[in-house]
Chains A and B, each alone.
Chain A
Amino acid sequence: MATVAESERTLYPYVTGSSVVALKYKDGILMAADMGGSYGSTLRYKSIERLKPVGKHTLLGASGEISDFQEILRYLDELILYDNMWDDGNSLGPKEVHSYLTRVMYNRRNKFNPLWNSLVLGGVKNGQKYLGMVNMIGINFEDNHVATGLGNHLARPILRDEWNENLTFEEGVKLLEKCMRVLLYRDRSAVNKIQISKITEEDCTVFPPFSLKTYWDFSAFKNPTAGAPGSW
């Protein structure tokens, strides 16, 4: 049935980024991702920026194959350029960019040559906050909080429990940090160099990278096999 030549399909990713986590807060969207680029099980690159602004109203975060993400950024540059060239006072908002990316991702999936990414799209336009996700097979949706990869299993339960409509910037950042810390403990491909970014109606800021403190000083950690030698 496969009429497409074997050489025309992407088989597997090489350099990959791990989870992205994002949530809506009072003034806009907050998004977080670490700066790691893994090469198989090696944590090869530790300064990859996986959160990028797109145009005036949107923030894009990506996990998965970094070369495909870099290519997507080039497609978006062209999209934004043509949008600006209309010079009509209008500009593409997060909803439109999400729609465009969904079409790109789904059409590539149909050709058995996917862009191997899960993308998080957030932004604010005309007072409307928007947060959505699209992945390599074209599944897309919007929600008040989203995550990719292991973040879906580790971060979203925390967000389902603690998110509310009226989070301040400080509360939002603390909540994201809580999620990123869990990912640091429990995701093998996480790297302790994190970027958080926020987008509001007025502007988009990607904050400088920082590292999170981790906590290991528990009595239960000190001699876990005391009662059962050989166990772990």
Chain B
Amino acid sequence: MDHNTDISAPHSMGTTIIGVTYNGGVVLGADSRTSTGVYVANRASDKISQLTDNVYVCRSGSAADSQIVSDYVRYFLHQHTIQLGQPATVKVAANLVRLLSYNNKNFLETGLIVGGWDKYEGGQIYGVPLGGTIVQQPFAIGGSGSSYLYGFFDQAWKEGMTKDEAEDLVKKAVSLAIARDGASGGVVRTVIINSEGVTRNFYPGDQLPLWHEELESHNSLLDILGAPEPMSI
């Protein structure tokens, strides 16, 4: 056994991802920052990827690893849907994700949240963290930004929310995490999945609430000073 590895330090994963169930479906949310070291490689990434018409996955950790896992699962689910003759269930999608994560646990560094709606069990959220454990939860949080949200969800989560309450919770949470996590940032994207279908939403910074020590944004200082522009001679 290797005694030098600090086994109690989880890998930090740039991103904040969230999945929440409500009465009727699920709401998935994520930030949009992809970083390589300190540089922000993509400030408007889409971390919520489609697996089937009714199942989406939030990706965190290594961008490459999470993309390849979701690509393989999309491919397998496509074939599975053809064979089955009807939409795949969320549970099947989540288990495919688990299989890849578990069997390649030594190579992969990605934490995923699978969320969707099917006619058998309604809205479901499955967390698949590092290592390939699969855990069905009423809500799941992941990524480095999630550290700042455990307390928030312990207090703000309640059973049986409406669609709007759930989306507001997700928006608020991602925005709070972005405020404190350097590896999370950009815009808040949400995806709502229910029996009626899928709705994608996009919330840029100015549509989100302001938190502690954050200020209203302006185009220029000059707008605030109210001073007339200096005359040019």
Contacts and interface: CB of A to CB of B under 8 A. Distances in A.
Interface residues of A, number: 23
A127 interface: no
A136 B133 CA distance: 18
A12 B7 contact: yes
Interface in B188-217: none
Nearest to B2: A11
B131 interface: yes
B37 interface: no
Contact of A42 (B102, B106, B135, B150): B150
B131 A65 contact: yes
Interface string B144-156: 0001001000000
B106 A10 contact: yes
A207 B137 CA distance: 20
A37 B5 contact: no
Contact of B105 (A10, A39, A48, A70): A10
Contact of A70 (B107, B127, B133): B133
A67 B105 contact: yes
Given A66-B133, A67-B133, A70-B133, A7 B105 contact: no
A44 B132 CA distance: 15
A31 to B, nearest CB: 21
B129 interface: yes
A67 B131 contact: yes
Contacts of A11: 2, 5, 106
Interface in B116-147: 127, 129-135, 137, 147
B124 to A, nearest CB: 15
A9 B127 CA distance: 24
- SS class, residues of chain B in contact with chain A: loop
A48 B133 CA distance: 11
Contacts of A13: 7, 131
Interface in B1-23: 2, 5, 7-10
B8 A40 contact: yes
A71 interface: yes
Contacts, number: 60
Interface string A17-50: 0000000000000000000010111101101100
B92 to A, nearest CB: 15
A65 B8 CA distance: 13
A78 to B, nearest CB: 15
Interface string A62-74: 0001110011000
A15 B105 CA distance: 12
A75 interface: no
A67 B102 contact: yes
Contacts of B7: 12-13, 40
Contact of B8 (A7, A9, A41, A70): A41
Contacts of A7: 106-107
Contacts of B134: 67, 70
A62 B153 CA distance: 28
A8 B106 contact: yes
A71 B102 CA distance: 9
A70 B2 CA distance: 24
A141 B98 CA distance: 32
A27 to B, nearest CB: 33
A151 B9 CA distance: 23
A9 to B, nearest CB: 7
A11 B106 CA distance: 8
B11 to A, nearest CB: 9
A124 to B, nearest CB: 30
A190 B108 CA distance: 28
B130 A14 contact: yes
Contacts of A44: 129, 150
A12 B10 CA distance: 10
B10 A14 contact: yes
Nearest to B104: A7
9 contacts: A7-B106, A12-B7, A14-B129, A15-B131, A39-B10, A45-B127, A45-B135, A65-B131, A67-B133
